[in-house]
Amino acid sequence: MTMSRAARLLGPFALFTALTVFMTWPQALHLGSQATQHQDVFFNMWRLRWIAHALVTRAPLFDGNIFFPEHDTLALSDAMLFEGLAASPLLWAGLPPVLVHNIMMFAGMALSALGMYALVCYLTRSRGAAVLAAIVFAFAPYRFEHVMHMELQWAMWSPLAFLALHRACDTGRLRDGLAMGACAALQMLSSIYYGIFLLTFLALAAVLLSARDRAAPLSNVTKALGAGLALALTISALYGLPYARVHRQVGDRSAQELAAFSAAPADYLKPTPNNLLYGDGKARGRPERHLFPGLTAAALALVAVLLQVPRRREIAYLLLLVAAFEASLGSSGYIFSFLHDYVPLYRGLRAAARLGLFVQLFLGVLAGYGYRALADGRSPRVRAILAASLAVALVAEYRVRPSLVDFANTPSPVYRVLASQPPGVVAEFPIPTVDHLPGPDPEYAYMSTFHWFPLVNGYSGVYPPSYLARLERLRAFPAQGAVVQLRRDNVRYVILHGDGYAENTFAALRAGVAESGACAELGSWRSPRGSSDVLYRCP
């Protein structure tokens, strides 16, 4: 990218940053202390901090300190490798973890908007169309359905990959094909779900566009796209090695999970409960299935395909939109079911409804074309008023009321004391039961970033079978069977959190530990919630 082209993107990026702040207001007032009320915020911070820690200490990157003694624990969910690498300098500089988390979350939204802006600007040669498409892609209800999932905000590489695909079809240049492959690989490193989905739709789009919408010779286009595909697949295959090892251990997703997280057509009529215009504050429907794209975006897309003679690119994006919608139906549709049966990558995916992101991408492109159809032939003043009015309508439809809570930037007293002890394996209680996961484990994992000792507990997208079995044995602590398991795991420290027990139960538990002689109490400290945290050392 030339300096002049980069400079032209500074204004749009400033606009999208301001829109991100507005759409998530008042979170910007509490960037250093508050985030969305969800356990995945703890998980996000653990992943970011683990990657930064591993890079400094040269610890095996995928052997996170959770679920001890398991290996490849970072690969039990999306590692967010790119986000972790990007956040590491901020964490090394000493910025508070919550602030870094929120910066990364906001950056994902703003950069997604910028990527979409670049794509639609190239396709339509209209900045108004590009701004509207960017709003559709970056701020539709789907985004706020996943506002706790950092990896699902970092989607800017998908529109940029389509931009490179178009350029390769227009020029036949090898560098454009390689740029497409690099963007696809970066999307995989940012979000595995989106990376897999992007490769699928790039393949379909390449067939559609190279056959009917190319300016360069087919041989040149084929070579460029083939080189890009080879680059993306090579990087993705190397990145996938620890995930392949984990998959052999945990197996495919269950049919029940696939059904629960597959979209239904009616889900595209459901906004998020916290949507200011359409939401009623009540959670209706299943998680991850509030996919309403907004009336304004849908109307603009209809203009593009019904109120004019659609051209080749509009037709291509309409077909891609239909395919993404049908694939998002998951196990109740055809495309996802076929891919799940015949493409091994799809067998580790649980949530077909996350294809809603690509529905938004393709809908946003069509909305941009719809705006251009309405704006063509009109004066600059009328075009500006039209674009501004439609942008206001989109923002009004997409605005939400965030639910924010405080997250700690520093360890509570028991963890500060633990960090001063000789290294050793840690187990924390209360532990969740298998039928009530994750319990307090996400917070335990985050707090482990202040001491970095191996932790028996853990939280991730899937659980190692060994951990589920361990939960059953540890729930009776301090009974003999649980003590035997702790010794088998070489546990050196046990923490009892009084907040997780009734007062009488906690007192009886402390007495039981003292009577058993399994561990020696090192002290008791007041917890942030007003109870006691007790630290033990085991022989």
- First-to-last alpha carbon distance for the chain, in angstroms, is 60
**For residue 54, how far is the Cα from the chain centroid?**
21
Span 55-79, pLDDT tens digits: 999 999 999 999 999 999 999 999 9
Beta bridge partners of 405: 35
DSSP calls for 74-119: GGGS---HHHHHHHHHHHHTT--HHHHHHHHHHHHHHHHHHHHHHH
Mean pLDDT value across the chain: 94
pLDDT band at 253 (very low <50, low <70, confident <90, very high): confident
pLDDT band at 283 (very low <50, low <70, confident <90, very high): low
pLDDT of residue 284: 67
The sign of the dihedral angle between the CA atoms of 521, 526, 528, 531 is: positive
Amino acid at 324: A
Range 144-153 burial, b when 16+ CB lie within 10 A, else e: bbbbbbbbbb
Span 18-35, pLDDT tens digits: 999 999 999 999 999 999
Tell which residue, 125, 191, 186, 127, has the closest CA to residue 160. 186
3-state secondary structure of 473: helix
Worst-scoring range by mean pLDDT, 82-96, 268-282, 502-516? 268-282
Instruction: Identify the H or E element spanning 180.
Output: helix 174-190
β-bridge pairing 404-406 and 34-36: antiparallel
Q: How far apart are CA 178 and CA 15, in angstroms?
A: 30
Tokens 């009892």 locate to: 496
At 405, phi and psi to the nearest 5?
-140, 165
5, 111, 127, 311, 385 from 130: Cα distances, Å? 15, 14, 5, 18, 15
Q: Quote the tokens at residue 481.
A: 């069977």
Is residue 178 within 8 Å of 231, Cβ to Cβ? yes
Quick check: 279 pLDDT over 90?
no
Tell which residue, 328, 333, 331, has the closest CA to residue 254. 331
**For residue 386, how far is the Cα from the chain centroid?**
34
Span 418-474, pLDDT tens digits: 999 999 999 999 999 998 999 999 999 999 999 999 999 999 999 999 999 999 999
pLDDT > 90: what percent of the chain? Answer: 88
pLDDT band at 180 (very low <50, low <70, confident <90, very high): very high
Instruction: Identify the H or E element spanning 537.
Output: strand 532-537
Span 91-118, pLDDT tens digits: 999 999 999 999 999 999 999 999 999 9
Instruction: Identify the H or E element spanning 523.
Output: strand 520-526
